[in-house]
Amino acid sequence: MAVCPHEWLLYCRPGFEKDLSAELADKTAHAGQGGYPIAARDSGHVRFVLDPETPANEVHLALPLEALVFARQSLVAFPPLEALPRDDRLSAIVDLVVASGWSFESIWQETPDTNEEKALAGLMKALRKPLESTLSKRGALRRKAGGRRLHLFWTAGDRVQLAMSFPGNRAEHLGGIPRLKFPREAPSRSTLKLEEAWHVFVPREAWPTRLSDSMQAADLGAAPGGWTYQLVRKGMYVYAIDNGPMDDVLMASGQVEHLREDGFVWQPPMRLDWLVCDIVDKPMRVIDMVERWLVAPWCHEAIFNLKLPMKKRWDEVSRCLERLASSLDQAGIRARIRCRHLYHDREEVTVHVCLLD
């Protein structure tokens, strides 16, 4: 009988382990699943140990990655293999893979997003070919295996955790980190937040219809124009609302109308396609403003950030999302709400709302 995994391995931004643990404990309890998190501060990952009677795949399916806020990656896992001998790291890895009965199409070796673990790059490179060759000979690595992927998560030279991911319920980037190139002409690095948000929240095949040059958008708190830049690059006409100065090149595009007004009180002249907002303020004040836009409704879709300087970040995120969902429901507004702590976010999360009208 194959060995069954009973751990859930999730990656996160270092420093947010406590927040991810709180989210997992809350959501598994609501789903009627038992277990507990194991996380070290600034480790960049959380192990969620499930009850022995609960297969990890059951929780992995019930709480998919897209429904989680602070997770970058979500994997079904075994407990870590520890104290691996330096002269033979492969045997224990291969033995566990064979005992699991797993088969997969590719192997990813990863480390937490910390400087210490990046020193393991040489080890992973040295192991790649012999690992692939051995697992291929043992029938675990093969061409057709349902798109499944084996992850080797190294936290030390003698410590690795084996995990599996499945198509449609995983991040398709090493470490769960998208590699976006900063456009030199963009006014600020915050531009990458909105670009990443589109990759996460809007399916690529829908970009021609949901991010097109026939659209109009509002950017609240726009200066100097990092988010406005992304809207303009998509060909949209943008109302840039901010008392601060906007980038001269953006203004020369002819696609931006800069209004020196308060983003919390400004109202658009017509219903727009997009609202985006990266204003630094209390999260609930931003929720109040976005609610007004969505109930009116003054836009079809919205992407906005909630700044989280407080200690209990998951509690605040949960409170804000519940308030937004409740308000829209009471107003009879059907909407899809998603929230993620993106790679380019720091002490904030990004929320996407799409009205279903």
Question: Which residues are tagged catalytic?
Answer: 307
**Helix/strand/coil (H, E, C) string of the chain?**
CCCCCCEEEEECCCCCHHHHHHHHHHHHHHCCCCEEEECCCCCCEEEEEECCCCCHHHHHHHCCHHHCCCCCEEEEECCCECCCCCCCCHHHHHHHHHHHCCCECEEEEECCCCCCHHHHHHHHHHHHHHHHHHHHHCCCECCCCCCCEEEEEEEECCEEEEEEECCCCCCCCHHHCCCCCCCCCCCCCCHHHHHHHHHHHCCHHHHHHHCCCCCEEEEECCCCCHHHHHHHHCCCEEEEECCCCCCHHHHHCCCEEEECCCCCCCCCCCCEEEEEECCCCCHHHHHHHHHHHHHCCCEEEEEEEEECCCCCHHHHHHHHHHHHHHHHHHCCCCEEEEEECCCCCCCEEEEEEEECC
Handedness of CA 213, 338, 39, 313 (dihedral sign): positive
| CA–CA gap between residue 120 and residue 154 (Å, rounded) | 8
C-beta separation of 336 from 307 below 8 A:
no
| CA–CA gap between residue 31 and residue 200 (Å, rounded) | 24
* φ, ψ for residue 338, nearest 5 deg: -135, 150
First-residue to last-residue Cα distance in the chain? 50
| CA–CA gap between residue 158 and residue 1 (Å, rounded) | 28
| CA–CA gap between residue 89 and residue 67 (Å, rounded) | 35
